[in-house]
Chains A and B, each alone.
Chain A
């Protein structure tokens, strides 16, 4: 079955850019939507944005000015860049696939990657 694995630096300095990659295995990245979701330590879940395999994107307005999500279908990967980070961006970052039945734009998240903790600190 499809598995997702996040990778990237675990420590980022304030004002710099956080960069993460999600590698999809066991299936193709094509024909699906893929999201990034984060969870600050001890807190709830926040959707960051999605990318369709074709490259179209949709971002959370709360982060839109700082977020870029891209896809590399040849590597079965998609990536997240979050610029100008602060301590408030410290979180576990998850990647996830969208699934639906019926309307393509009505989709939930399954499966999720195991998550990777990114700490913003000097």
Chain B
């Protein structure tokens, strides 16, 4: 099983801020990583796959980087609609596993 450590678990930020979320793997996964955004009461939505490929329709202020064991999700200029919880997920091996989540809240 590949364990994932996502940090921070809670991030307080203001509109316009640049925010960074980290996801670290217990073993290397190449670039087989996805990021999802989840708003309260809603299903997760895909933001990024292959560590850095933006899903169609996702604003360009979102970006992903990393490979191997260390990955980062960056929101370059936080908008009001970005306050949500973010999850990383590895798809290198089964069982598929998710990070614990990072809640981005209004400061």
Contact = CB atoms under 8 A, between A and B. Distances in A.
Interface of A: 35, 44-47, 58, 60-62, 94, 99, 101, 106-115
Interface string B63-107: 000000000000000000000000101011011111111000000
A46 B98 contact: yes
B55 interface: yes
B62 interface: no
Interface in B15-32: 32
A111 to B, nearest CB: 8
Contacts of B54: none
Contact of B95 (A62, A107, A113): A62
Nearest to B95: A60
Contacts of B94: 58, 60
**Chain B contact residues: over half helix, strand or loop, or mixed?**
loop
Given A44-B98, A45-B98, A46-B98, A110 B46 contact: yes
Contact of A61 (B45, B87, B95, B98): B95
Contacts of B46: 108-111
A106 B91 contact: yes
A11 B89 CA distance: 29
B100 A44 contact: yes
Top 9 nearest A-B pairs (CB, nearest first) are A112-B43, A108-B34, A47-B96, A110-B46, A45-B98, A60-B95, A108-B49, A44-B100, A44-B101
B11 interface: no
Contacts of A115: 43
A94 B97 CA distance: 15
A94 B96 contact: no
Contact of B98 (A35, A47, A99): A47
Contacts of B98: 44-47
Nearest to B47: A110
Contacts of B49: 99, 101, 108, 110
A58 to B, nearest CB: 6
A60 B3 CA distance: 14
B43 A47 contact: no
Contacts of A44: 87, 98-101
B44 A45 contact: yes
